[in-house]
Structure 1
Amino acid sequence: MRNSLDGSMLAAVARRLSEVDTTRAARYPGDAGGRQPVHTCYVPADRVNGDVAAEWGAAALATLRDHAPRAGDFAALLGLPGELAEAVHAKVVAKLSREPVEDLRIDFEDGYGARPDADEDADAVRSAELVAGWADPPPSVGIRFKSFDTRALFERGARTLDLFVTALGRAPVLTLPKVTDVAQVGALVELLTLLEERLELDTGALRFEIQVETTQSIVDAEGRLAIPRFLTAGAGRVSGLHFGTYDYTAGCGLSAAEQHLAHAACDFARHVMQVSAAGTGVRLSDGSSNVLPVGDGVREAWQTHFGLVQRSLAHGFYQGWDMHPAQLVTRYAANFVYYLRNAEPDARRLRTYVDKKSSGVLDEPATAQALAMSLRRALDCGALSAEDIERLCGLTEAELAALAHRETP
């Protein structure tokens, strides 16, 4: 056979592509594994006393007993068929009794407000000591400190961060709100590096979430997408992007009545977040709903929240923020419904892929990974058990985890 390109020509091009491959692999390592909470519950720091998670769970169960004590109530309220309503209601009760809060954020920002420095100092140390003493803490706990948007806020936020991490003595989850410029991300990285050195923590132990709640965190002043630059400045420390519903919609100039998660302006921001974070291992969280299940409006608020959580899940946002204990009811109900409805078809497709059987759907490795990830999330939140997974698709928990990360079980 006669060809026109010799080996030396191909080798030169291959070398350049190898550099591209190396850079891409570093930037887009994929999901790091481990559990992602289905929500973040945030509580003002001055209200963090005793066992917050147990208190939220008890309050959620009390509201459930008062407004939907039976599975039939769930069926009517959420539009579920009887058998599914029975399963979901039982799982919600069990979850609220066993592990009501998956991720707790102690808030020193909007929910806490501006306080005298001595008060915030005391709350930072007190809450850290409280967390350190919990015998059975939520799987994930951290703080949201003040933004770096002005000199005064930076100094206050940095001091609270320092006091809390120093008193705790280990790495909590950290949330940086209202980011408007990449320099703020770089400044936080500097502070965390110094804290690790002073506290003798492992390099890179202190990581943080960025709250996407300003228009400048979507498109910067020069018309560029801002989030990719934030991730670069984060130097591998950015663990998540969390959407902020109300600051963002207000920043877009929407009226109060239009400030809600289902608005098209929020969809645009979430799509930018999704594309910017895809493949990087940085996880996404949706925002909150301020329609609270209280007083005479519990059932209507539950229906609103349930619909919004279902919408988030359908758009690939597997986490969201909760503002009130009674929202835990519909947070878990929505997740359990979502995963239980998808469990059998997802498991069947995954088993067919693993067995390399012929079917009416030709799934790619990326789709098989997505199927495994969905079942993994169902297992993590309590929608399914390891026994359910093995019964549905014949895979052990370890085999499922391997498929979720594109390894051969």
Structure 2
Amino acid sequence: MRKRPRLSLSEGEILRALGGLEAALTDHHDRYPGVPESRQPVHTVAGGAHLFRRDTAAKLGRIARGYLDRYAGGPAALADALGGAWSPGLAEVVHQRLRGKLEREPVESFLIDFEDGFGTRADEDEDAAAVAAAEETAAGVVAGSLPPALGIRLKPLSDITGGRALRTLDLFLTALVASDGSLPEGFSVLLPKIVRPEQVEVLARTLDRLEQGLGLARDAVAIDLMIETPQSLIGPDGRIVASDLVDAAGGRCRTVHLGAYDLTGSASVAAEEQTLDHPLLETARQILKLSLAQTDVQLSDGATNVLPVEPHRGRTALSAFERDENRSVVRHAWRQHYFDVRRSLSQGYYQSWDLHPAQLVSRYAAVFSFFLEGLDAAAWRLERFVAGAGQAILTGSVFDDEASGQGLLNFFLRGLASGALTPEEAARSGLSSKELETRSFREILERRGA
């Protein structure tokens, strides 16, 4: 008979000690719920509000397909254009899915821009643009031609442009409701140039008033934040303030974007050195990642500012030299963008910005190849781990535990959402579609009785 171990604390004392943690752990679980349930777009495409039309997404897709046909018409040409070390089979799949994506859903998230992409204009011009963009949005809702996510970027809530920004917000939402009566699903407002949490609070309170006055559901409009000033990253007392800005949004914050070039510029980095791999931006990315990890806030990286713009365009007759120069410039920009997107993905940033329709080619090629290249290893590891009832296991030379199990599950969820992976490929993980929908590795194990 096994001897009963001796304890110094009674069961009641242990329970009372743990009871003191209940409120703290509840607060922790509320603040850090884990993987967001909503789909995260792989990019944000921004365009000036004066140019926005209900069919803008389809138009961008047509332009991107034109670039694909001219400079990467086949699988081998695409691999060569991007510098991807792909097998012929992988190149074939990436090229096929890329073309299909550009035809079916070329844009996942579009931002109607009243800031950099719109510029400083007369008040009556911005008034008219706000109403016109809202009416086009309403028409797009009816036609079903809008991308899955849509938003607007305001001017900063500064002492100079704050009034203009809130007026534009009011005009847009009022005209949208008057035209259609409903918001597009996933609608958001992006706030730039933040230096104080109070600016976010003002936007949140204004949205409260507008939603109530226009008969919209509470919190119908999300707030996205642009981290592009040093003060929106590090406070005057040296604290990291990203979570303070998120809290100031009052539960509305959905995405935090890194504004790479304003941030490096405000830190006195020379213009020619302002690239996405600058050490200052590497630091900013990791600060944001660690401070907002496991919250329901999504993170988005910055944009590649080397654009695939043909130097000789707008003419039908080009010399051989001009055609070669066009090809060289576009492919160089594609490679830079492809590299930047792949680096963002490797650092856990599954969304970043695109500034030109031709970047949709390198965007989806980077996303699709990232998930397809990792498919075999991820499927093998996850299938073995689940089969082992979630116990820590050595798969080859990789040690997997519950945390890595969730990471592997996230890989398949994001691959499916982006269109990089098919349901049949995701099934190689050993998980059913219903199990994938739980989005929780622990819940999957519990349901299996592990």
What is the TM-score normalised by the length of structure 2? 0.87
Match of 1:52 among 30, 50, 56: 56
Per mean C-alpha deviation after superposition, the further-off stretch among 17-26 and 168-177 is: 168-177
- Which one-letter code corresponds to 2:79 in the other structure? A
2:367 paired residue number: 335
Q: How does 1:172-321 map to 2 (within 5 A)?
A: 172-295=187-310, 296=326, 297-321=329-353
The structure-2 alpha-carbon separation of the partners of 1:89 and 1:275, relative to structure 1 and needing over 3 Å to count, comes to: same
Whole-Å separation in 1 of the counterparts to 2:412 and 2:6 = 51
- Which one-letter code corresponds to 1:87 in the other structure? V
Per mean C-alpha deviation after superposition, the further-off stretch among 232-241 and 102-111 is: 232-241
Following superposition, the deviation at residue 329 of structure 1 comes to: 0.3
Whole-Å separation in 2 of the counterparts to 1:353 and 1:289 = 38
Deviation string, structure 1 residues 104-123 (Cα, Å, up to 9, x no partner): 00000111111111111111
- Which one-letter code corresponds to 2:148 in the other structure? P
Following superposition, the deviation at residue 395 of structure 1 comes to: 2.7
- Which one-letter code corresponds to 2:200 in the other structure? V
- Which one-letter code corresponds to 1:348 in the other structure? W
SS in 1 for 2:239: coil
Per mean C-alpha deviation after superposition, the further-off stretch among 235-244 and 201-210 is: 201-210
Q: How does 1:8-407 map to 2 (within 5 A)?
A: 9-77=13-81, 78-79=83-84, 80-134=86-140, 135=143, 136-150=145-159, 152-169=160-177, 170-171=182-183, 172-295=187-310, 296=326, 297-356=329-388, 359-360=394-395, 361-390=398-427, 392-404=428-440, 406-407=442-443
Whole-Å separation in 1 of the counterparts to 2:175 and 2:384 = 52
Following superposition, the deviation at residue 86 of structure 1 comes to: 1.3
Following superposition, the deviation at residue 12 of structure 1 comes to: 4.1
- Which one-letter code corresponds to 1:27 in the other structure? R
Q: Is the 8 A contact 2:54 2:139 kept in 1?
A: no
SS in 2 for 1:104: strand
Whole-Å separation in 2 of the counterparts to 1:49 and 1:383 = 28
Per mean C-alpha deviation after superposition, the further-off stretch among 243-252 and 26-35 is: 26-35
- Which one-letter code corresponds to 1:176 in the other structure? L
Q: Is the 8 A contact 1:39 1:102 kept in 2?
A: yes
Whole-Å separation in 2 of the counterparts to 1:268 and 1:389 = 33
The structure-2 alpha-carbon separation of the partners of 1:257 and 1:398, relative to structure 1 and needing over 3 Å to count, comes to: same
Following superposition, the deviation at residue 224 of structure 1 comes to: 1.2
SS in 2 for 1:328: helix
Following superposition, the deviation at residue 362 of structure 1 comes to: 4.2
Whole-Å separation in 2 of the counterparts to 1:355 and 1:15 = 35
SS in 2 for 1:142: strand
Following superposition, the deviation at residue 397 of structure 1 comes to: 2.4
Deviation string, structure 1 residues 127-177 (Cα, Å, up to 9, x no partner): 111111112211001101111122x31111111111112222344221111
- Which one-letter code corresponds to 1:278 in the other structure? A
Whole-Å separation in 2 of the counterparts to 1:404 and 1:96 = 31
Whole-Å separation in 2 of the counterparts to 1:386 and 1:396 = 9
Deviation string, structure 1 residues 191-218 (Cα, Å, up to 9, x no partner): 1111121122222222111001111111
Whole-Å separation in 2 of the counterparts to 1:50 and 1:167 = 15
SS in 2 for 1:321: strand
Whole-Å separation in 2 of the counterparts to 1:406 and 1:148 = 42
Following superposition, the deviation at residue 254 of structure 1 comes to: 0.5
- Which one-letter code corresponds to 1:28 in the other structure? Y
Whole-Å separation in 1 of the counterparts to 2:18 and 2:192 = 43
Deviation string, structure 1 residues 199-240 (Cα, Å, up to 9, x no partner): 222222221110011111111122111112112222211111
- Which one-letter code corresponds to 2:62 in the other structure? A
SS in 1 for 2:353: strand
Whole-Å separation in 1 of the counterparts to 2:384 and 2:439 = 13
SS in 2 for 1:407: helix
Sequence identity of aligned pairs in percent? 41
Larger radius of gyration: 2
Whole-Å separation in 1 of the counterparts to 2:153 and 2:350 = 20
Q: Is the 8 A contact 2:344 2:350 kept in 1?
A: yes
What is the TM-score normalised by the length of structure 1? 0.95
Whole-Å separation in 1 of the counterparts to 2:269 and 2:354 = 22
The two structures, once aligned, show a CA RMSD in angstroms of: 1.6
Deviation string, structure 1 residues 251-278 (Cα, Å, up to 9, x no partner): 1110011101111100111111111111
2:316 paired residue number: none
Q: Is the 8 A contact 1:181 1:216 kept in 2?
A: yes
SS in 2 for 1:229: helix
SS in 1 for 2:381: helix
Per mean C-alpha deviation after superposition, the further-off stretch among 78-87 and 245-254 is: 78-87
Aligned length: 407
- Which one-letter code corresponds to 2:146 in the other structure? P
Whole-Å separation in 1 of the counterparts to 2:40 and 2:246 = 19
Whole-Å separation in 1 of the counterparts to 2:206 and 2:136 = 24
Q: Is the 8 A contact 2:257 2:299 kept in 1?
A: yes
Q: Is the 8 A contact 2:53 2:137 kept in 1?
A: no
Following superposition, the deviation at residue 367 of structure 1 comes to: 1.5
Whole-Å separation in 2 of the counterparts to 1:191 and 1:253 = 34
- Which one-letter code corresponds to 1:393 in the other structure? S
